[in-house]
Amino acid sequence: MEGRDNEGKGPEAEEGRNYCGGLSKSAQKKLLKQQKWEAKKAEKKALEKEQKKREGERKRKEWEERLASVSEEERGKLIESRKSLRKERMEQRSEERERNTERLSRAKECGQKIVIDLEFSHLMTPAEINSLVQQIMYCYAVNKRCREPGHLWLTGCKGEMGTQLKRLPGFDNWIIEKEDRSYMEALEDEKRNLVYLTADSENVVDDLDSSKIYIVGGLVDRNRWKGITMKKAEEQGIQTAKLPIANYLNMSSSQVLTVNQVIEILLKFLETKNWKDSFFQVIPQRKRCQADSEQSQQVKGVDSEEKNDQFESKKQCAQDSTRI
């Protein structure tokens, strides 16, 4: 769940520790699979880029043909109309940036503090680090669009993780706390209010306490490291809790969620104050049992609208992250 956890014992843990050195057969297969997936993803991205380029050329050709087919007077009117539309769109985007900046600045003063703990990068492969970076980018884009955004923190933001984050377009302009230090150092005076969210905790979150600082473990492929966030919190002497997922739906497998799913659930709850709606709007149907999937059809209209919003969010994530 909130930081996929695993204790780092046994052959799988050894596999995780040795990814940059001698690889076991299992690790080699996993790495090869990941490389194939990355290659396929790059190929798809290149194809989409080429299609976008062709579409742009087609539109330019149509525009030129349209101008050539009308009188000089009409041509002038068409050009002026297009300029006006562009100016209007630019003004709308500028206003949207200002609203986003205002909301995020206000969140830094009084928003719910949510920390993404990035101190696990040494346990992940480069591909897993890249995956987490993409999730963080999505978290920022989603938070920026919220009516009541949270006050996001990135702690332990150094090494390869920090390097990849800094490569993101517009990262330096993000209105978010970026700390090279751990959350224990950066929030030393707030230790009593720190709450690590982990599926292994016996404590269930009923409501989000604005005085608390909720921590989400930034770890990909946590099946290698079961219990790691719980163990870390216990060693540091800070509180732990888990989201009340079991109270509202049955998961088809474990309650492990990606970082961006946990962050989005928290943000949804801040807006709706309703855990059930937050879970059903964020957790994919493939992770729910059949009964829960059927139950979600009762709110199909809302669910469909949310799915469209999520699709558009993911589609424009990279663009939005560059606009502050």
Catalytic center residues: 221
What are the DSSP E strand ranges found in 112-185? 113-117, 151-155, 177-179
Within 13 Å, how many C-alpha atoms sit on residue 89's CB side?
A: 6
Residue of 125, 128, 138 whose CA lies nearest to 168: 138
Instruction: Name the DSSP letter for residue 298.
Output: G
> For residue 289, which of 245, 243, 324, 259 has the smallest C-alpha distance?
245
User: Is the C-alpha dihedral spanning 93, 99, 103, 106 positive or negative?
Assistant: positive
Name residue, tokens 């880029």. Answer: 49
DSSP state of 194: E
Which residue do the tokens 């346990």 mark? Answer: 123
The three-state secondary structure class of 171 is: helix
